[in-house]
Structures are given as C-alpha cells and as structure tokens.
Amino acid sequence: MSSAMQDNGAPVAGVPTFGVEEEFFLADEGTRATVARAADVIKRAHDRLGDRIGAELFTTTVETRTRPVGTLDEMRQELRRLREGLAVAAEEGGCRVVASGTPVVPFRGHREIAEEPRYRQLADRYGPFVSDDHNTGACACHVHVAVSGREEAVRLCNHLRPWLPVLQTMAANSPFNDGRDSGFASWRALHFGRWPHVGPTPPFRDAAAYDDLVDSLITSGMLLDRKHVYWYARPSEHWPTLEVRVPDVNADLDVVLLVASLTRALVAVLKSDVRRDVPPPGIADPLLRAAHWRAARDGLRGSGLDPLTGRLHPAAELVERLVARAAPALDETGELPFVRSAWHRLRTGGGGAELQRAAYARRGDLRDVVDVLSVRG
C-alpha cells in the first residue's frame, strides 16, 4: 500500500503507509537498574504480541514492530497496544520497560548476548564493540515509509540528508549513560556511532551505485551482510520501504507520533523532487556530520547547524523549517494540526533529555529518571 487514509476513510493519494520500530531497555522493578531479562519478557509477551516483539543484540533490550498503517490514529493504536502488552509482560517478570536511548542506572551482573546466530557472528567479527563490559546496548526508534521501489528509496536518501539532524534533535532522549550525565542530549548517537558502519547515508547516483558500494563493504569485511548497513537512512533489503534510523526512543507517545508523522510527510513531499529529477542538495560530509554532532549535543535547548550553509541557528528554528517543508503532505492527511500542537508542547515543555535532567535535579536520584521513562501497561 502506498496511500494513507483520511479520518473519514477516504484515501489520500500519494501519501505512503508507514511503520515504527521501538527499542526499549528493561530495568528491575525495585532497584531500577538495567537487567538482562529480555528472553523471559519476550516469552511472556508472545501470546499478546506474536511476531511484533523480538530480541536485540543484548539481553537488556527488546524491540517492538508495528504493522504498516495509513493514518496517525492507527499508528497511535498500534504503538499503544505494543507498549501496553510489553509493559504487562515485563511487570509479570519483575521489571519495567524503559524508553531511553542509553541505560540510566548501570547494569550489574553478567552481560549476555541474545541467543541468535547472527548476534554471535557480530560478537566474533567486532570484538570489543560487543564484548565491552560497559556496552549494554542503545535504543532507537526507526520509522519505515513505503516507496515505489528501491530506486526511489535510494534517491530519497539523497534528498533527506539535510533534514535528518533536525529529526535527531527533536527526539534526543539519552543524556544519562550508566549513571552519569554525558553532557549530550543524545549520548546514544555518539555511543552507537562508534560502529564503523554508522553515519550519514552517502549520496548515490542510483540503486546500482548503492548496491555496488555495499557489496564492496561486505567484501572488505567491515559489513557482515546487507542487513548491517546502519546508515541514518537506508532502503529495505526485502520490502519497498525507506527506513530512517536517527531518532532516540521516547517515552512520550506524542513525541514518537510527531517524529513519525514528520518523517512520512517529508518523504511524501520529497518524492515530488525525486520524480521531477530535481538534484539533491550538495552537502559536504564533514558539515553533515557536524550537524548530527550538534544535534546530539544540544538537542532542542541549543543551536543546530544548517549543513547547507555551515551556520548555526536556534534548534527550534530548524524544526520550524522542517514543519514548513512537510506541511503540504501534513495538510493532505489532516495531521498538520496535531503536528503543530505536539511541536508547541515539545518546544515549551522540553524534549526527553530535558525531562530526564529535570527528574534527576529534583533530588539527585536516578531512580526518578527511570520512573519518568517507564512505559506502563
């Protein structure tokens, strides 16, 4: 499916379906420390959620996956159902589901890798990136948007490049890492960025050029396989979708919906440029990386770098530009009022990083941070 549905059920031409993956930490109900209970929680949740829940690399984290949907209301229902089912299963196992990009209270005990052959291959290939005792995972939110095919997905990645730091800014939700304030709004971006295959998607002439480079990286040994492409936007290897991978996971469901709605709308409006063969913006990779670094450091409460000009602007101003760019598609689906309202609340109330720090500031207890991040059934 490649068209959305309005609230009255009528199709909206040209607006794609979309889906969301969310990754969560597990924390002990009593101590709030990160715990390795993913296998038990997944087993408990299976009857409720089926294949919509799965394991991640480390047994401290779990993943949920929505089905593809056409409206924001459907997406809200999907995410709520998955979060509630996961939270109930975690509660039965004596733990909580925590929506933070990095672990807040440190993990104590023997760290384990999930029992999947591919994860064992990753451990063998990348050594300390996996075996480091201080590495218990990182939790992101991935937005999948339907496209006409692989060629369109690759070309859309070129056009998305200047906008992804702004989406990263809005979703920044990982200031604490293993008990300490990192000084960044999104430490996950830096922590996960240690892997050699994480970063901005390179510009490509077409899908053949994309495939040639990925094949070469696999041959070199840097990539394990095609699923191991962790660029910030990428075409699916199995479905006609484009995946955006920059946001942190967030506890506030409206923030997740805001980011997902903007991502889909941005893809929808950029399709017009792709189909009219409008050249993508030329951006120096160092400036693009600097824009992502600045987004990770400041989040919404600082400045963002415009990678097209190399100039700093208030982060909120860059978000306003993104909303304006996506507005035609948002108006078409009827999501523009929600986006404006949710953005106003986010701008005035603060993003995830600000809320985490505010919770800690009240009495200097990291358990309070875990409490505001906990997903309830």
Residue 304: CA atoms inside 13 Å, Cβ hemisphere, count? 30
CATH number for 4-360 (one of 1.10.3210.10, 3.40.50.1000, 2.60.120.10, 3.30.590.20): it is 3.30.590.20
Q: At 332, which helix (H) or strand (E)?
A: helix 315-333
- For the stretch 221-238, pLDDT in tens is 888 888 889 999 999 988
Among 3, 69, 15, which Cα is nearest to 267's? Answer: 15
Q: Please, where are the H alpha helices in 8-149?
A: 38-49, 72-92, 117-126, 128-131
Q: For residue 3, is pLDDT > 50? A: no
What pLDDT does residue 14 have? 64
HSE-up of 356 (CA within 13 Å, CB side)? 35
Q: What is the pLDDT of residues 154-193, one digit of tens each?
A: 999 999 999 999 999 999 999 999 999 999 999 999 988 8
Q: Greater confidence, 125 or 52?
A: 52
Closest C-alpha to 157, from 262, 269, 232, 228: 232
* H or E segment and range at residue 53: strand 53-55
Q: Give bridge partners of residue 235 from the DSSP assignment.
A: 242
How far apart CA 332 and CA 4 sit, in angstroms, is 10
- The Cβ of residue 246 has, within 10 Å, a number of other Cβ atoms equal to 30
pLDDT tens-digit profile of 260-300?
999 999 999 999 999 999 999 999 999 999 999 999 999 99
Closest C-alpha to 353, from 214, 184, 154, 177: 184
The angle formed by the CA atoms of residues 174, 175 and 177, to the nearest 5 degrees, is: 80
What's residue 4's pLDDT? 42
Confidence of residue 11 (pLDDT cuts 50, 70, 90): very low
Q: Tally Cβ neighbours within 10 Å of residue 13.
A: 9
For 81-131, what is each residue's pLDDT tens digit?
A: 999 999 999 999 999 999 999 999 988 876 677 677 777 777 777 766 665
Domain boundaries, the chain: 4-360
Residues present in the chain in total? 377
